A = this chain, B = another copy of it.
Amino acid sequence: MIVTRPVVILGGASGVIVAEALYDLSQAGCGVECGGYLNDALPTGTSIGDQKVLGPFEAWSDLPAETLFISVLHKAKEMPQRMDRIERLGIPDSRWAIVRHPAATVARDTQIGPGSYIGPNAVVMPGTVIGRHVALRPGCSVSHDNALGDFVFAGPNVTLNGNCRVGAGAHIAPNAAIREETEIGELSVVGMGSIVLNDVPARSMVAGNPARVIGRYDGAGMWGPIDG
């Protein structure tokens, strides 16, 4: 008997990206299917795509024990609060799904933490360690021997060259590229299309070609210009 486990998505509109991957996985006979959403803002029963909101985040513990979870809460500049929100729910690692689209190409030896999503046409080369709650969007290319911390986001068509290290909660926006052997500090934001040639300090925002620091996180949840 094949058991199909429902995967419930914590989050809102962008969850349709993961829901679609779950549909494609179910069609491929991978033993998972989308089981709906948990959402703190929308009333229970609200539709998101072809699925329903089942309740707020805290309702996770009311769901059947076979239910798995994944969150879609990555947002540049808001990760400290969002990481904290997810972690304080106390969902055990064994209940977080890994959603890897069937059209992703992921090296055999890749370590992937619970709660992570790898989209269609994303590529992960050997020797790479991917933390918990990471999102690699479509067409993202992660070369060999990368280390991605928890809650890292890499957007569509991003390239990480070999031997990079990306700190927890860092956000790499679409079409950015990172030189080999570069370190992106925790909670940093790499703007769309940034061409990163040097290490990025923690809690900093970079943008441009070549990328330069344009803002810093002040610790109170606010961002300002580098000289502001």
A175 at the interface (CB under 8 A from B): yes
A106-146, CB < 8 A from B: 107-109, 119-121, 123, 125-127, 137-139, 141, 143-145
Distance from A51 Cβ to chain B, minimum over Cβ atoms (Å): 11
B156–A156 CB distance below 8 A: no
Residues of B within 8 A of A103 (CB): 103, 105
> With the chains together, A109 CA to B23 CA distance in Å?
12
Q: How large is the interface on A (under 10, 10 to 19, 20 to 34, 35 or more residues)?
A: 35 or more
State the main secondary structure of chain A at its contact with B. Answer: loop
B156–A143 CB distance below 8 A: yes
> With the chains together, A191 CA to B196 CA distance in Å?
11
> With the chains together, A144 CA to B197 CA distance in Å?
31
A159 at the interface (CB under 8 A from B): yes
Distance from A135 Cβ to chain B, minimum over Cβ atoms (Å): 12
A49 at the interface (CB under 8 A from B): yes
Residues of B within 8 A of A210 (CB): 207-208
A16 at the interface (CB under 8 A from B): yes
A155–B159 CB distance below 8 A: yes
Digitize A193-210: 1 where CB-to-B-CB distance is under 8 Å, 0 elsewhere.
101010000000001111
A145–B105 CB distance below 8 A: no
A sample of 19 inter-chain contacts (CB < 8 A) reads A13-B145, A14-B144, A16-B125, A16-B126, A16-B127, A17-B144, A19-B126, A23-B108, A121-B121, A125-B138, A137-B141, A139-B157, A141-B156, A141-B157, A157-B158, A161-B174, A175-B175, A192-B195, A207-B210
